[in-house]
């Protein structure tokens, strides 16, 4: 797990904290009840329900450790102190696809927060790397495995 020098938006940080709290409280209690119920069925050495509950417990504890590590080693982006003049992590970028005239909007985030369905792309993705440190009005050509994308940066906001 390499979360050193990772960055989170305030929203991304909040979501990880909420997920961690859910796993530590609600999910732990659910799993504990499942283990107790399975123990009540008798011999645990041949009890598939008990084994499944113990596996769920191990998975939950591993996820808790992973989230605690990420939160301990991540910096929260302060959008108020960052410039809107260039594309940096945390920026919301309005683009125009020069081939299709389609307008797109992406928010550049760390790999931990990337979610293409929500328009959040990683700064380490080809598109994210291609947009970093660029300014509004620039036309950017970005090489991706499927070819080359050509975007005009219309607007940068936070």
Residue 2, pLDDT > 70, answer no
Q: Which residue has the higher pLDDT, 44 or 33?
A: 33
Task: Flag whether pLDDT at 3 surpasses 60.
Answer: no
Residue 4: pLDDT over 70: no
**DSSP line for 56-104:** HHHHHHHHHHHHHHHHHTEEE--GGGS-SSB--TT-EEEEEETTT--EE
Residue reference for tokens 């009890």: 47
Mean pLDDT along residues 60-69: 96
User: What are the pLDDT digits (tens) for 71-128?
Assistant: 998 888 887 777 778 999 889 999 999 999 999 999 999 888 999 999 999 999 999 9
Q: Give the span between the Cα atoms of 139 and 66, in whole angstroms.
A: 39
Report residue 121 as tokens. 């792309």
Mean pLDDT of the chain: 90
pTM of the full structure: 0.72
pLDDT tens per residue, range 123-147:
999 999 999 999 999 999 999 999 9
What secondary structure letter does DSSP report for 42? S
- Residue 17: band (very low, low, confident or very high) from pLDDT cuts 50, 70, 90: very high
Q: Angle at Cα 94 formed by Cα 88 and Cα 97, nearest 5°?
A: 115
In the chain the domains, ranked by start, together with CATH numbers, are 6-76 (1.10.287.180), 79-157 (3.10.50.30)
Q: Which residues contact 136 (CB under 8 A, 6 or more apart)?
A: 85, 153, 154, 155, 156
């Amino acid at each position: 797990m390499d979360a050193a020098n990772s960055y989170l938006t305030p929203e991304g940080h909040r979501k990880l904290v909420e997920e961690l709290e859910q796993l530590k409280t609600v999910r732990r209690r659910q799993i504990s009840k499942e283990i107790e119920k399975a123990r009540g069925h008798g011999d645990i050495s041949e009890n598939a329900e008990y084994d499944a509950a113990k596996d769920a417990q191990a998975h939950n504890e591993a996820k808790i450790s992973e989230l605690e590590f990420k939160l301990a080693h991540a910096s929260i982006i302060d959008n108020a102190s960052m410039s809107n003049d260039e594309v940096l992590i945390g920026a919301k970028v309005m683009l125009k696809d020069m081939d299709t005239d389609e307008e797109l909007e992406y928010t550049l985030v760390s790999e931990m927060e990337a979610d293409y369905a929500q328009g959040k792309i990683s700064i380490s993705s080809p598109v994210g790397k291609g947009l970093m440190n660029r300014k509004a009005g620039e036309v950017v050509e970005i090489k991706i495995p499927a070819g080359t994308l050509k975007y005009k940066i219309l607007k940068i906001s936070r």
